[in-house]
Structure 1
Amino acid sequence: MKKFCVYLLLLVIASITCTGSLFAQSSKKAKKPLVVFVTGDHEYSGEETLPLIAAALEKDYGMKTIVLKASPDHNSEENIPGLEALKDADLAVFYLRWRRLPADQLAHIDAYLKSGKPVMGFRTTTHAFHFPAGDPNEKWNAFGEFALNAPPGWGGAAGHTHYGHESSTDVHIIPAQANNPILTGVATNFHVRSWLYRVLPDYPVKGSTWLLMGKAVNPDKEAIENPVAWTGTNSFGGRVFMTTMGHPEDFQQEPFQRLVINAVHYELGLKIPKKWKGKLDIQVPYRVTK
């Protein structure tokens, strides 16, 4: 009888252990990656386009998202509430232009970057910050370079400029990258409304992988082709995806939509979805800069 009781006790312990293990595995499997979008750009309505991307990631791709916005509106350069959410983020996506955030808010971004987690950026995020010379936070003006392998701010010695607001861009996949998973389902050639940004000759930083090239259509000056999307590793060891596209009309284009969805998966270390859930209905207007 004693041996039988011991046997039953062992069975109960084994059952509890097995159940606990299965529960732990199930919980781990059920955990959704968190993508935090940080927006505030004056011009391109990133705080309107990116929530639509976020909604698709939640609805169709099993992710959790948080969208942070400049407050009280997109022209507010000194306040983006909620940046503490970056502490739990698996991916931070930035669409910023010339912000001057206070030190306590910058600290959340700094901590995220130093964690080595992945970073993704759109268009004007090359010049995300615009602190005056001598400001204690002036180093943040180079965010594009140290976070996204892009030029360190607008103009200056890097010659970061564009080819005129009346121009647009023909985009094509760089042949050597035709089989890159991020480009799964992306058309070999497509057209976007974004006027081409010049980042060459010094950017993207050495070691970056160029994915797409852009050719200016109707440029206002002599133009050369420039990379418009690239990947790499930033100065903190974090995985990077950066695109200089991002005009609201670009988000209407299915190749661009698919590129963005693919890039989010890549940044998170997830398999690129082979099956496209369908074109997103994104109708957001462009606004003239203030």
Structure 2
Amino acid sequence: MVELSDKFLSNRKLETLVENQTSYTLNNAALHVFETHQQAERVLLKFDQPVLASMIEGKKIMHLRNYESFSFLPGESLVLPSNETMCIDFPEAMRKNPTRCLALAISEDKIDKVLQLMNETMPKHNGKEWNLMDYNFHFVNDAGIYQILKRLLFLFTENHPSKDFFVDNMLRELIIRILQTNERKIYSSSTLQLNANSRLATVIRYIREHLHEPLNIDDLSDKACLSPSHFHRVFKNELGISPIEFINNERIKLAVGLLQNPKRSIKDVYMQCGFESRSYFNRVFKAHQHISPGDYQAKTTNTII
């Protein structure tokens, strides 16, 4: 979870209790930090550029066009196209428990240049071009995106003569990682019809259906009819992570759901998710969720109760 520094909190002006806004503007992007200190409903917000919103603290209920309402929590991000209206509820916000969120608006020119670079240097294996999604994309930050957001928050608030240059470099990496994260969601979503002739889609479907079993690169590359090295290269180029990282991501997503049942033991969860040992499960889970499985289960079930 990205955190605001004490320096930021002491220097910013709190002028309103609902969506108080602190903004920093550079050549290709603007960073806004929004804070809400009292309960509120149906607050509207819109940006004229594509925006990445990422929760820092507290809880929002998001109402978006063509989507069911959902909780927006720390460690999660949301990408919206330009001129997309957000309708937001703040059910738990108060002085001692504020809701804080950053919104990073990125110029379309910057995004277009990154897309051109991706299509020239890392084309998709299926011949389709990389494009910014024209729909709302809600996801949990992985370690890479978390570190970039943390760095961007520092850079925007730093008084450095070269920070435009620093931020531009970070924006390029952020855009690439978000698009690769979106690609993983497209491939792994059970609600989408995947092309039966796609080698990668076939392998990803197999992974999702066999998470509880041992999975290795040689077997997966055979199913894709590729050599192990070529399979690894194609997979990482398109999805942004290695096959093993993808498998662990899928296993952790499954574990997160299973741990919300207080009657399940940690051993039962990690075995059902295909992890061979408690220690490895603990290490991978904490790297993804920044909390141990036991603490996550206790926190989640206490919240539900």
Instruction: Please give the range of the TM-score, normalised by the shorter of the 2 chains.
Output: under 0.3
Please tell me whether Structure 1 or Structure 2 has the larger radius of gyration of its CA atoms: 1
TM-score, L = length of structure 1: 0.25
Structure with greater proportional helix content: 2
Higher relative contact order (CA 8 A, sep 6+): 1
Q: TM-score, normalised by structure 2?
A: 0.24
